[in-house]
Amino acid sequence: MKYRKILLAYNGSAEGKRALLECAELANFLGAETHLLAVASMPPSLFLTEGFVPEELLEEEKKRTQTLLDEGIAALKKQGFNATGHLAVGEPVEEICRLAKEQSADLIVLGHNQNTSFAARWWKGSVGASILDYAPCSLLVALSRN
């Protein structure tokens, strides 16, 4: 299969930066259209009542996430590579899969830290593990071993 459209789920972490570099190299090699997605999400503990999040907190998270997205796009441009940026608000797995389907992506790229303990992944949840069940296309996981 030829990967014509690649979606990189980017969160600014060390794993995300590793995935950014791998995605850029792969997209360049394949001549693929690339989309960079950053998802603004609120921890469940911040929901005050049935899905209500104070507007100020949501706006602050969106600004923080937009900054991460801008940094990712700038890092790609610095390497002479262009990507289309997307900012979404919601649960990362849902938003990654939604945009992948909407853009007819052939490949989703994301980062993963293998040194995160099982207990930490279980407590926090794992986007990578969850996305395996819902992705509308193939996945490439860029590993980071600190």
CATH of the domain at 60: 3.40.50.620
**Number of domains into which the chain is organized:** 1
**Structure confidence by residue, pLDDT tens digits, 21-55:** 888 888 888 989 999 999 998 665 555 555 555 77
Indicate the DSSP class of residue 90. Answer: S
Cα–Cα dist 8/72, whole Å: 10
Cα–Cα dist 119/17, whole Å: 24
* Whether the Cβ atoms of residue 73 and residue 95 lie closer than 8 Å to each other: no
Nearest 10 degrees: CA dihedral of 62, 67, 68, 69?
80
**Structure confidence by residue, pLDDT tens digits, 64-118:** 999 999 999 999 988 888 899 999 998 888 999 999 999 999 999 988 776 554 4
**Structure confidence by residue, pLDDT tens digits, 115-137:** 554 434 433 455 555 788 889 99
Whether residue 143 is predicted with pLDDT greater than 50 in this model: the reply is: yes
Tokens of 69: 């997205």
pLDDT score, position 120: 42
- Under DSSP, is residue 75 helix (H, G, I), strand (E, B) or coil? helix
Read off the pTM: 0.81
Cα–Cα dist 99/116, whole Å: 27
Cα–Cα dist 123/98, whole Å: 25
Query: Where in the sequence is the domain holding 59, given as residue range(s)?
Result: 5-144
